[in-house]
Structure 1
Amino acid sequence: MTLDRFCVKFPAQPQASVDEAAFIPIFHEWIRDRTLAGTLLDVADYRHVPDGPGIMLITHEINYAMDRDRGELGLYAQRKLGPGATHQERLLHLLRQTAIFGSRLEADRRVAGSLKLQGGKFLLHS
């Protein structure tokens, strides 16, 4: 079996207290400045959806979301396209890209100090 679409989530530290609206201008800036690799397309606000994906950065390759599934804030990423001949290579690529995304987000002055992801823990969804 070959999995092309799958997801990972890096939970935020339990004490994270960030205003999720802060992600909207950050993600728009990343699109404008081409901060990340790949084709950055749009920002979507799904905070009105219970247990929904929250604020999303849509790219051609990966959808990133700061979601609150089951009340737990975290960085959720869904791989749609990307390099890798094997499942392991595709998973490692998604993990690397999501870790880069998370590091940049944590360092952004608009959320620095209020958002810290658990880098040593992630959930895999297929």
Structure 2
Amino acid sequence: MDLQQINIKVFATEDSKVNYTNFIKVFNRWMEEADSDDYLNYADYSHVEAGPSVLLILKQANYSIDDAYHQSGFLYNRKHAVEGDNADKIRQALTEVLSKCEQLEASAELENAVHFNGADLLFMINNRHIAPNTPETAASIQADLTPVLQQMYGDDNFTVERTSEDARERFTLRISANSDKPISELLSNLGG
């Protein structure tokens, strides 16, 4: 299986105060500071319940403050192909999303009101052709995912569970770790 279109959501901590206007300010700054034309635009969907509230559109990926499952978090959605083996692709996606979470936490625009819990993640493949929502897909992906999570968390103290067995839904795993490591340490463990 050649994993592509990896999506990862890092949930915000329970005490976070998400202000969509402030995320728009951050995304505007990121577009202004970009030294490439990769950043295209942002979209404000904050009026839509349980969806991507504020979306930053790039050529290769999308970033959003996502409220799916009525839980706020930062969602990384890789749109284009990535080279390497599956473990490399998973590591790249985790490094990208955690790096952006770290930048968001440090953003003056968010007024130190938003923090992310690296021990609470959703891992999704946004392509039912590549990764149908089946037990076979879960076994195949977990074989590549588990060593990367062991590297990131520094131990085996985590669980990985499918969120649904409905074949009509995209393949999604909920990762829960018994860890209070900050995002910076998780990134360092990944080599980021």
Q: TM-score of the superposition, structure 2-length normalised?
A: 0.60
Q: In the alignment, residue 32 of structure 2 is paired with which amino acid?
A: R
SS in 2 for 1:54: strand
Unmatched 5+ stretches in structure 1: none
Q: Which residue in the other structure is 1:93 paired with?
A: 92
Per chain length, whose mean CA-contact separation is higher, i.e. which structure has more relative contact order (CA < 8 Å, sep 6+)?
A: 1
Q: Which residue in the other structure is 1:51 paired with?
A: 50
Q: Is the 1:65–1:77 contact (alpha carbons within 8 Å) kept by the matching residues of 2?
A: yes
Q: Which residue in the other structure is 1:8 paired with?
A: 8
The answer to whether 1:115 aligns with 2:114 is yes
Paired with 2:105 and 2:4, the residues of 1 have a C-alpha distance of 28
Shift of 1:65: 0.6
Unmatched 5+ stretches in structure 2: 126-192
SS in 1 for 2:118: coil
Paired with 1:82 and 1:117, the residues of 2 have a C-alpha distance of 27
Q: Is the 2:5–2:81 contact (alpha carbons within 8 Å) kept by the matching residues of 1?
A: no
Q: Is the 1:82–1:90 contact (alpha carbons within 8 Å) kept by the matching residues of 2?
A: no
Quick check: 80-89 or 56-65, which moved more? 80-89
List per-residue Cα deviations over 1:19-45 (Å, max 9, x = no partner).
11111121011111117x881111111
Q: Which residue in the other structure is 1:71 paired with?
A: 70
SS in 1 for 2:74: strand
Deviating runs (4+, > 3 A) in structure 1?
Answer: none
Q: Is the 1:84–1:93 contact (alpha carbons within 8 Å) kept by the matching residues of 2?
A: no
SS in 2 for 1:14: coil
RMSD of aligned residue pairs (Cα, Å):
1.8
Paired with 1:107 and 1:82, the residues of 2 have a C-alpha distance of 29
Paired with 1:91 and 1:112, the residues of 2 have a C-alpha distance of 31
Greater helix proportion: 2
Paired with 1:82 and 1:97, the residues of 2 have a C-alpha distance of 15
Identity %: 25
Shift of 1:82: 5.2
